[in-house]
Structure 1
């Protein structure tokens, strides 16, 4: 595509060089730069793409979109400037989103797009939506924490909400493969980093909000976190909002039109007659909505919330009760209250719960199933959200009969240091039932070996993830794969 068409909707401050050039791809990673690529210098939390312009130039790139005008004034850059085209903008992230939409032919205009945001539930809701729509023969794509999947194709993602270029690229692939509806998890970081800039959402779903993602590399305050979340509703035609959450008022204020759902208070869609599992033999939850019966393959209150907003959306899309019921009944989401089949006398549950609210929800719900013992295995990520370690320890102490502290993406921190910090906050009465293994594989093995008939083991924190982040490198690791090595009856 000709450069002048790619940049036609940018708010350009200055252009140096010619723009009547053919561009074959847009990149923001200098390692992917080759001839006829346009390099966009993104500024992140810890890196600045302007530092990699020389690398991209050496690899063949001759068109650059930048936001730091001083680059054009530095003497050491004279050769690059004389032989290249530079486009100066205020925000290169907005520019990347705008150019990517143009480059891929504005695929969002050909899709019904559902944005899902909240601290918890995004991945489960997107999975439920896909299950119901696929059951009704409506092709649905998903972009989120568990990856990008549509039309029997799967692509891994690094972030819950990928960079705008990837979003536009895969939306184009979806359209070309006959996808009609896209369920997209929209993180606060994705909004803050302008990854969804320019996308017109047809629907926005609010699940809940709690104190998470507050820290040096994330949001400075809870208010900032909430404000970022709320921006999605200003970008959407229609909102579906959980009004049991006190933060829903902020989302409603930003909404153009909305309907509410709830369990505890009166709303447009209030779940009633809820029957939660009474023991570990049946992990499903039953409820009624507008005098119609539903069943969901989950247990606990959050499972009902996730089902409610799914039902509301699918009714808006015109699906019948039977289609919604059947699709919801079939729905399973990897790494979200995932029960591993194969054990006869114990239950092993894998869940992504990695903060105070999510872990408490999972453990409280499992405890209500009256297991002989609840064995809790968890860790806490390195380099961020350090107050989370104390919170997780307190929750584990409250519900766990046996506690196993291990590693969960320690990154550049010493895993044992993280473990020691967590253990320091375990309640005194539970410390004699607490075990520590820095190697998560060994921790899982020990959890299964020490289990007894009637126990439930909860492996928390990693869920769907298939890696351990160690010193900046993602090393392959899967809780599910490790568990399945030990499937045998307990006597």
Structure 2
């Protein structure tokens, strides 16, 4: 592609030589580990990496034809732009030349519920006849191809590459989770969603954002004209109400009470959710296999987003009903009258939602196993303990990806959140902790193994070891486990 076509619609401050516009490049990159021949290279600073320190090394590779940069580069062919990271997103859009007017696109953000909402939207779209691309925490799916997910939100080049691949396979819709990190770092700049969905905002990632206000403002970016055309916002919580009042794009509210999409009546069981929901002035009946009040919110978000897209109410009903579950989200096992659930809940709010859902169904005790990640937000450790204590009859505190921290030090911080430790057990070995919970359970009890969900690894130090909560539960119960 000619550089002039690569930069179509993108403001340029200065060019070292006008002849650069006529260079034909085959690739674009900003990753020094993946420079392909005949490339335009964008100099984008990372959190701990400065490519400007490697200019000569990058250019001497003979693969780079020119640089796109925020700083002048004497004696190097370069084009000067205001913001290299944002420019990279727009260049990706031009490079892959995708006609988004022919693709329905939905972005989902929020602390909790992104993944389940994403799966539900995907189910509704597929029922209505779309071939879809789904990008999120558990996996990336390009129509019929599954790819292991490295991040909740991949880099913008990877996103466009997946969409381009999906379009070749006949895809006409993409739904994806959009993390606060990706938004804050402009890693999804260049996309413009038909609908942006806001699930909720509670304490998490404060190791990165430092304050809830910064966390909120990062999420809010998705609901601006630069990123989205329409907003579907959960107004059951303060941040959602604030966002609904502040956004300037077309907006639709959803709520377990009154909203553009709201709940008329609902019943919950361990088999799922049955409810009647108003969409504007019309009421529809929905039956879902998902468990718990928090999943009702996810259903409402998916219903609102697909309604905005113009999906028929019959297809919405069928899409919700046909969807079974998300891997590692209240994934259920049963043995001798006891129920065992594996869930990804790794924040205090997510843990509260799941425990509230399960507490209403217990006939015996509620036993909770959880830990907190190392080298991550430390403020939630005592908060998770408080939640577990309120809802559980027995709590087993263990490890959950301790990384480079001492597992026992993490556990000590968690323990400060308990008022009464009489019902608290501790075992830093997660495998043993899960076995203790399974051995303890009797008929009528419910056991929750929280924190890892779909993850099939445990990170100790800087090494990733195979470990799957679901496999451990199945092994202890003597039952078969098959991944969803």
| TM score, norm. by length of structure 2 | 0.89
Q: Is the 8 A contact 2:334 2:340 kept in 1?
A: no
**Structure 2 residue 469 is the aligned partner of structure 1 residue 479:** yes
Correspondence 1:384-423 to 2 at 5 A: 384-423=376-415
Measure, in 1, the Cα distance between the counterparts of 2:57 and 2:411: 40
Q: What residue in structure 2 maps to residue 261 of structure 1?
A: 254
**1:34/1:61 contact within 8 Å kept:** yes
Q: Is the 8 A contact 1:263 1:271 kept in 2?
A: yes
Per mean C-alpha deviation after superposition, the further-off stretch among 42-51 and 10-19 is 10-19
* Cα displacement string for residues 41-73 of structure 1 (whole angstroms, at most 9, x for unaligned residues): 332333333345455445543245465637x36
Query: How far did 1:298 drift?
Result: 2.0
1:433 alignment counterpart: 423
- Contact 1:161-1:186 at 8 Å conserved across structures: yes
Mapped contact 1:33–1:60 kept (Cα < 8 A) = no
Q: 2:105 aligned with 1:113, yes or no?
A: yes
Query: 1: distance between equivalents of 2:473 and 2:15?
Result: 57
- The more displaced of 334-343 and 395-404 is 334-343
Query: Match of 2:482?
Result: none
Task: Return closer, same or farther for 1:113/1:45 CA change in 2, 3 Å cut-off.
Answer: same
Number of residue-to-residue matches in the alignment: 470
**Secondary structure, aligned partner of 2:230:** strand
- Is the deviation greater in 396-405 or in 120-129? 396-405
Does the residue aligned with 2:404 lie in a helix, a strand or coil? coil
Partner of 1:11: 11
Superposed displacement of residue 13, structure 1: 3.6
Distance 2:460 2:36 in 1: 30
Show the 5 A alignment for 1:244-393.
Answer: 244-252=236-244, 253-264=246-257, 266-277=258-269, 282-290=270-278, 291-335=283-327, 337-341=329-333, 343-393=335-385
Partner residue in 2 for 1:36: 38
1:227 to 1:410, Cα distance in 2 relative to 1, 3 A: same
Q: 1: distance between equivalents of 2:289 and 2:319?
A: 11
SS state at 1:44 partner: coil
CA contact (8 A) 1:107 1:168 kept: no
Partner deviation per Cα, 1:411-461 (whole Å, 9 max, x = no partner): 221222112221233232xx2432333332332233222322222221111
- Where 1:361 maps in the other structure, the secondary structure is helix
Match of 2:195 in 1: 203
1:95 corresponds in structure 2 to: 87
CA distance in 1, matches of 2:271, 2:339: 11
Greater mean deviation of Cα atoms: 437-446 or 61-70: 61-70
Give how far 1:469 is off: 3.1
How far apart in 1 are the matches of 2:309 and 2:178?
20
Residue 239 (structure 1) aligns with: 231
Runs of 5+ in structure 1 lacking a partner?
A: 74-81
Q: Relative to 1, partners in 2 of residues 1:67 and 1:467: Cα closer, same or farther, differing over 3 Å? A: farther
The reply on whether 1:26 has 2:28 as its aligned counterpart is yes
Q: Find the aligned partners of 1:87 and 1:445 in 2 and give their Cα distance.
A: 60
Residue 176 of structure 1 is aligned with which of 154, 168, 174?
168
Distance (Å, rounded) in 2 between the aligned partners of 1:126 and 1:51: 40
Matches within 5 A, 1:46-85: 46-53=48-55, 56-57=58-59, 59-63=61-65, 65=67, 67=69, 69=71, 72=73, 82=75, 85=77
Please tell me whether the aligned partners of residues 335 and 477 of structure 2 are also in contact (alpha carbons under 8 angstroms). Answer: yes
CA offsets, 1:278-325, max 9 Å, x none?
Answer: xxxx33111111332211222222111111122223333443433222
Equivalent-residue separation in structure 2 for 1:127 and 1:363 (angstroms): 22
Q: How much has 1:213 moved relative to structure 2? A: 2.2
Which residue of structure 2 lines up, in the alignment, with residue 445 of structure 1?
Answer: 435
Contact 1:379-1:406 within 8 A present in 2 as well = yes
In structure 1, what is the Cα distance between the partners aligned to 2:53 and 2:447? 47
Partners in 1 of 2:319 and 2:380 — Cα distance? 36
* Contact 1:239 1:255 (C-alpha < 8 Å) held by counterparts: no
Long gaps (5+) in structure 2: 480-484
Q: Distance in 2 between matches of 1:398 and 1:343?
A: 26
In structure 2, distance between residues paired with 1:125 and 1:69: 41
Q: CA RMSD in A?
A: 2.4
The equivalent residue for 1:190 is: 182
Please give the secondary structure, in 2, of the residue aligned with 1:247.
helix
1:78 maps to none
Instruction: Give the Cα–Cα distance (whole angstroms) in 2 for the partners of residues 187 and 337 of structure 1.
Output: 18
